[in-house]
Amino acid sequence: MTTMGRSGAEALDADNPLRGRQDLFVLPEGLVYLDGNSLGAMPRAVPEHLDAVVREQWATGLISSWNDARWMTLPPRVGAKIAPLIGASGTDVHVGDSTTVLLYKTMVAACRLRPERRVIVMEPTTFPTDGYVAAGVAHTLGVELRWCDPADPAAALDDDVALLALTHVDFRSGALFDMPSLTRAAHDVGALTLWDLSHSAGAVPVDLTGADADFAVGCTYKYLNGGPGSPAYVWVAPQHQDRLEQPITGWMGHAQPFEMSHEYAPAAGVVRMASGTPPVLALSALDVALHDLKARVIGVPLWRLLGAVRDRVPIYGSGGFTSYDDQRLAEQLAGWAAEGIPRVKMKVGRDPARDEHRLNVARAAVGDGVDLMVDANGAYDREPALLWAQRFGDRGVTWLEEPVTSDDPQGLALVRDHGPPGLAVAAGEYVWREVDALALLGAVDVLQADVTRCGGITTTLRIDALALARSMPTSIHCAPALGAHAGAAMETLQHVEYFHDHVRIERLLFDGVPQVGAGGALEPAADRPGLGLELRRADAERFRA
């Protein structure tokens, strides 16, 4: 047997077409990491997005984030991103539960589709979990677990087999089963197939649709780099979905969960495979990781992959919190003006008695050549909102954000229609799906979108399309390092919010953060793939919990 030394390995690495892909991930300096089959390394874009999920969506949004941040729809949205990696349609993949739980659910469901058959076939060198689950299912359903020859699984198939369940890639040797031929062999005797893709998806080509497979499950913490404990996924062939009876019928798989019915009615399609609450933090990390990873693998900046219409993104400086004293307010706003940013935003509405004075301080700090914008965060009822709109207009304010709550589109429209000329009414930071954006299109002058809340870049670009159809400008709320990439691809973009707290965190922990260039615009890097962000581990270490 020939042994290979380090020099031989380095020679192979030099010829590898994927050489350099380690730059996509955060890895300790000098480490040769060969354990991606057990835990994938962390993609560079994940820490910033998780920070936004924890600090904004959880800490600030609380229960409203189930809707406002689209937590409820994370499973199908992330499933749609996994689907191309396994040769499936995005509507046929559900993300949630662990691999073990999904193996159990799919094995039981498959056997229920073949109730007259009494055998599950599995090969004995499979990953132990698969065998343990199969034995448990066999005991529960009173069927036989038949171990086949790993060299010839088809030889164990006969007319009594309900399910052939195989691991696509041997976790020890890397041997790959011929999925199309074994699936055909199972179908020839009337059996169904279940493929465990945990050691193949993301590492080798997979085509479930082309193979005519029936079921598949897989984990996301190995080659999909979702992180420890990230949820697994399940794929069900479309022809089986509406006949499927899975054994753990939970609230999230109900057709109408918020009716709180005592009787279970399964949801249509693969959603019926859902049982419990989606793992929001893990799904959010996986969502951004897949976006970032695709651009990095192709070797292009994310903004270019999305189809950029500009390479510089207009911004406005945002902060001016109501807790600031006059000096801090003036220094912050004047600092942005000094950077060449032509517009700044401050908070109003918490202490109306001081707001006119604060506006005077702000105007004196930035001068007459900088647009002054205000954000009321829904602080007013309709009548005081109209009064303050006039006062803001008299002081040259050009932007009034959420004069009333976004839950009152009629109130927003009232302020827009009766406010002074030159004062744009804006809202939309809590839009989480396209229908919410539609409700605001007739109520505001500028529609906002938050990439970290509305379903990520995909939904942000859909909102851009809706706004384009109405000839309405849009603005991206917060998270400028993410927003700059989406904004560069938006036809309707007016600007991105250069939010003080997020800018501070981005600069504190990451290299590759977009910089403010000429004319006060953000310039996402043209020479850094993906989001272009790289965690500075030494700087982050002091924040370790």
Q: Which residue, 297, 332, 366, sits at the end of a domain?
A: 297
Same domain, 287 and 336: no
Beta-carbon neighbour count of residue 21 at 10 Å?
14
Same domain, 134 and 173: yes
The CA-based angle 277-278-280, given to 5 degrees, is: 125
Residue 250's CATH number: 3.40.640.10
**Domain membership flag for residue 302:** no
H/E element, 391 = helix 382-394
For the chain, 545 residues long, give each residue's pLDDT as a single digit of tens: 567 788 888 888 888 877 777 777 888 888 888 888 899 999 888 888 888 888 888 888 888 888 777 788 888 888 888 999 999 998 899 998 899 999 999 999 999 999 999 999 999 999 999 999 999 999 999 999 999 999 999 999 999 999 999 999 998 888 999 999 999 999 999 999 999 999 999 999 999 999 999 999 999 999 898 888 899 999 999 999 989 999 888 877 778 877 888 888 888 888 788 777 776 666 667 776 777 778 887 889 999 998 999 999 999 999 999 999 999 999 999 999 999 999 999 999 999 999 999 999 999 999 999 999 999 999 999 999 999 999 999 999 999 999 999 989 999 999 999 999 999 999 999 887 777 888 899 999 999 999 887 767 878 888 999 999 999 999 999 999 999 999 999 999 999 999 999 999 999 999 999 999 988 999 999 999 989 988 888 888 888 76
Residues in Cβ contact with 395 at an 8 Å cutoff, skipping those fewer than 6 apart: 356, 359, 360, 363, 372
Q: Which residue, 297, 332, 355, sits at the end of a domain?
A: 297
Q: Which residue has the tokens 């309900």?
A: 162
Q: Are 239 and 211 in contact (CB under 8 A)?
A: no
Question: What is the rounded distance in angstroms from the CA atom of residue 522 to the CA atom of residue 527?
Answer: 15
Query: Nearest-CA neighbor of 195 among 172, 215, 225, 224?
Result: 215
The encoded tokens of residue 340 equal 């060449």
HEC assignment per residue over 48-113 = HHHHHHHHHHHCCCHHHHHHHCCHHHHHHHHHHHHHHHHCCCHHHEEECCCHHHHHHHHHHHHHHH
The CA-based angle 365-368-374, given to 5 degrees, is: 70
Residues in Cβ contact with 31 at an 8 Å cutoff, skipping those fewer than 6 apart: none
Same domain, 293 and 318: no
**Domain membership flag for residue 304:** no
Beta-carbon neighbour count of residue 257 at 10 Å?
15
**What radius of gyration do the chain's Cα atoms show?**
27
DSSP 526: S
Angle (deg, nearest 10), helices 128-141 and 99-113: 40
Q: How, if at all, do strands 343-347 and 397-401 pair?
A: unpaired
Same domain, 263 and 370: no
Same domain, 196 and 242: yes
pLDDT given for residue 301 in this prediction: 93
Same domain, 259 and 342: no
Residue spans of beta strands (DSSP E) within 443-533: 446-449, 474-476, 493-499, 510-511, 515-516, 521-523
Same domain, 206 and 348: no
Same domain, 227 and 319: no
Residue 310's alpha-carbon distances to 113, 180, 294, 485, in angstroms, are: 53, 45, 21, 10
DSSP 222: S
Question: What is the rounded distance in angstroms from the CA atom of residue 194 to the CA atom of residue 112?
Answer: 14
**Domain membership flag for residue 18:** no
Same domain, 235 and 322: no
Q: What is the pTM of this model?
A: 0.57
**Domain membership flag for residue 266:** yes
Q: Which domain holds residue 348?
A: 310-539
Determine the residue type at 506: E
pLDDT given for residue 284 in this prediction: 67
Q: Within 13 Å of residue 511, how many CA atoms lie on the same side as its CB?
A: 10
Residue 475's CATH number: 3.20.20.120
Determine the residue type at 384: P
Question: What is the rounded distance in angstroms from the CA atom of residue 408 to the CA atom of residue 431?
Answer: 13
Query: Nearest-CA neighbor of 510 among 493, 496, 525, 497?
Result: 525
Q: Are 120 and 133 in contact (CB under 8 A)?
A: no
**Domain membership flag for residue 4:** no
- Sign of the CA dihedral running 251, 252, 258, 259: negative
Dihedral in degrees, nearest 10, Cα atoms 54, 60, 62, 67:
-90
The encoded tokens of residue 498 equal 């250069």
**Domain membership flag for residue 23:** no
pLDDT given for residue 491 in this prediction: 95
**Domain membership flag for residue 39:** no
Residues in the chain: 545
Question: What is the rounded distance in angstroms from the CA atom of residue 21 to the CA atom of residue 448?
Answer: 35
pLDDT given for residue 281 in this prediction: 64
Same domain, 344 and 387: yes
Phi then psi dihedrals of residue 25, to 5 deg: -125, 160
Same domain, 419 and 515: yes
The burial of 11, by beta-carbon neighbours within 10 Å (0-12 exposed, 13-18 middle, 19 or more buried), is given as: exposed
pLDDT given for residue 137 in this prediction: 96
| Number of domains within the chain | 2
pLDDT given for residue 69 in this prediction: 77
Helix residue ranges, H only, 200-253: 208-211, 238-241
Residue 83's alpha-carbon distances to 101, 125, 127, 313, 455, in angstroms, are: 20, 27, 23, 31, 17
pLDDT given for residue 276 in this prediction: 77
- Sign of the CA dihedral running 493, 496, 497, 502: positive
pLDDT given for residue 29 in this prediction: 83
pLDDT given for residue 353 in this prediction: 93
pLDDT given for residue 260 in this prediction: 84
Phi then psi dihedrals of residue 446, to 5 deg: -135, 130
H/E element, 540 = helix 537-540
Same domain, 390 and 288: no
Residues in Cβ contact with 53 at an 8 Å cutoff, skipping those fewer than 6 apart: 69, 280, 281, 284, 452
**Domain membership flag for residue 376:** yes
Question: What is the rounded distance in angstroms from the CA atom of residue 535 to the CA atom of residue 516?
Answer: 20
Q: Which residue, 297, 321, 346, sits at the end of a domain?
A: 297
HEC assignment per residue over 370-385 = CEEEEECCCCCCHHHH
Q: Are 18 and 25 in contact (CB under 8 A)?
A: no
